Amino acid sequence: MYELMVKDSFASAHNLREHKGKCEHLHGHNYMVEAYFKRYDLQANGLAVDFNVLKAALKKVTEYLDHKYLNEDIEFFRTNNTSAENIARFIYEELEKEVKEASVCRVNVYESEKAMVSYTK
């Protein structure tokens, strides 16, 4: 099996609902995202998947989230809390729709350089 990873980042504002603490108030993060994909074989050209395909898919998702107030601007987060956990799940599920050449196997979302969550299915 081959595992590939691409990175991107986005900046968004949010507030955590039902959270007792300062993160309950409106604030923002510069998120960094790592998306991991797997494929069991190589294509005829010797590549599992062209990195440009994976980068473009991740960029499409991060651009959708970039400079948004997640709680109000993104439908998914109107009913799901804007935790890093749910952001990772959202990105994972969007990548599943975008990438047909490989399977998404993990998405890591860094809320800061000291805090990261990983989502897999």
Distance between CA atoms of residues 114 and 109, nearest Å:
11
Check residue 108 and give its pLDDT.
98
Taking alpha carbons only, the member of 91, 109, 74, 81 closest to residue 17 is 81
Distance between CA atoms of residues 46 and 96, nearest Å:
23
| Residues of the domain holding 40 | 2-119
Taking alpha carbons only, the member of 118, 116, 92, 90 closest to residue 104 is 92
How confident is the model over 24-78, as pLDDT tens digits? 999 999 999 999 999 999 999 999 999 999 999 999 999 999 999 999 999 999 9
Tally of structural domains, the chain: 1
Structure token pair of residue 29:
């993060």
Check residue 103 and give its pLDDT.
97
CATH of the domain at 72: 3.30.479.10
Q: Is 0.85 surpassed by the pTM of this model? A: yes
Check residue 20 and give its pLDDT.
86
